[in-house]
Homo-oligomer: A and B are copies of this chain.
């Protein structure tokens, strides 16, 4: 653990004042070539790296943007984080990531941690913390929310048009002749879960089909819950020819449940997801789902934050996700699967 080199040491070693070294470091002012060379040589020789904390303290900015995510192990948010990282690249700002685990209290603590680190801006991915808490921090630093609308902060939310997404799914299935369509929704504590369900029901009617409460189930966005819900649906005996899941993970779980019962996809039953996780391309059969450009959304959030930091007032418009038709959907069979027998 060799002692860490300071700007002051560099200055002494090079026979100049600390200010000169600082100027060279930041290109704040011109310096005679010979001094510059001398200093740079010393910097290199001593392997000096400026202390970011000190810089932050001195000029009032930490050059870091806090990111509140929910789970580091989530494929969905992981991709968004990658997008944010990418969007910030080249910009002097760096992301500082903390997770809230979908727990309001932890999200609150995470926000406090970020504020103590004096992040220059904030990006919030989903979460269940109250809008009021977000408004409070938004009063201190520029804040951009992804995938959730925060009241009082329009133009600061990168929104996804869930309704439009699920609508495409239903019309696709209806077009294939499906009339009995089952649905597995997500935890309605999350905004998008209710938007998707409402969109599903609305489109059903739009397509001249009726909502059958016996074909509606609720999961929590995990594979296990999807498997369980599909199991229940099948066991209930109520016939259906297509199964719409509110996200890909639950579709994966449902897929397993169908496999267990020997039901073929899409011959016996059509299956759809939402999100288009990377792995959805590799399920058997590849999953028909709604593509969200998660990475791009992350980049967009990053760019928006950068723009906000630069004093601009960016305009946001909701992102319309697109249906990707792969191989898990097909024409409705004549005799609906019930799973019975």
- Compute how far the CA of A252 lies from the CA of B280 in the bound complex, rounded to whole angstroms: 10
A96 at the interface (CB under 8 A from B): yes
Residues of B within 8 A of A279 (CB): 223, 252, 279
- Compute how far the CA of A18 lies from the CA of B289 in the bound complex, rounded to whole angstroms: 58
Residues of B within 8 A of A285 (CB): 259
A256 at the interface (CB under 8 A from B): yes
Q: State how many angstroms separate the Cβ of A112 from the closest Cβ of chain B.
A: 6
Across the interface, do B282 and A252 meet the contact criterion of CB distance under 8 Å?
Answer: yes
Across the interface, do B116 and A50 meet the contact criterion of CB distance under 8 Å?
Answer: yes
User: When each residue 251-262 of chain A gets 1 if its CB lies under 8 Å from chain B and 0 otherwise, what string results?
Assistant: 011011001000
Q: Indicate whether A72 sits within 8 Å of B81 (C-beta atoms), given known contacts A94-B113, A116-B51.
A: yes
Residues of B within 8 A of A81 (CB): 72-73
**How many monomers of this protein are in the complex?**
2
Q: State how many angstroms separate the Cβ of A119 from the closest Cβ of chain B.
A: 10
Across the interface, do B79 and A73 meet the contact criterion of CB distance under 8 Å?
Answer: yes
Residues of B within 8 A of A91 (CB): none
The one of B51, B57, B85, B96 in contact with A118, judged by C-beta atoms closer than 8 angstroms, is B51
Q: State how many angstroms separate the Cβ of A135 from the closest Cβ of chain B.
A: 13
Residues of B within 8 A of A85 (CB): 72, 99
A283 at the interface (CB under 8 A from B): yes
Interface residues of A in 87-139 (CB under 8 A from B): 94, 96-99, 112-113, 115-118, 139
Q: State how many angstroms separate the Cβ of A13 from the closest Cβ of chain B.
A: 19
Across the interface, do B49 and A116 meet the contact criterion of CB distance under 8 Å?
Answer: yes
Interface residues of A in 57-87 (CB under 8 A from B): 57, 62, 71-75, 78-79, 81-82, 85
Across the interface, do B223 and A281 meet the contact criterion of CB distance under 8 Å?
Answer: yes
The one of B57, B113, B282 in contact with A256, judged by C-beta atoms closer than 8 angstroms, is B282
13 residue pairs from A and B, CB less than 8 Å apart: A2-B139, A4-B118, A51-B116, A52-B116, A52-B117, A53-B56, A54-B57, A73-B81, A82-B99, A94-B113, A96-B96, A223-B278, A227-B282
Please name the 9 residue pairs, one residue from A and one from B, whose CB atoms are nearest each other, closest first: A73-B78, A259-B284, A73-B82, A72-B81, A53-B53, A252-B282, A72-B82, A53-B56, A73-B79
Which residues of A come within 8 Å of B, CB atoms?
Answer: 1-2, 4, 49-54, 56-57, 62, 71-75, 78-79, 81-82, 85, 94, 96-99, 112-113, 115-118, 139-141, 223, 227, 252-253, 255-256, 259, 278-279, 281-286, 295
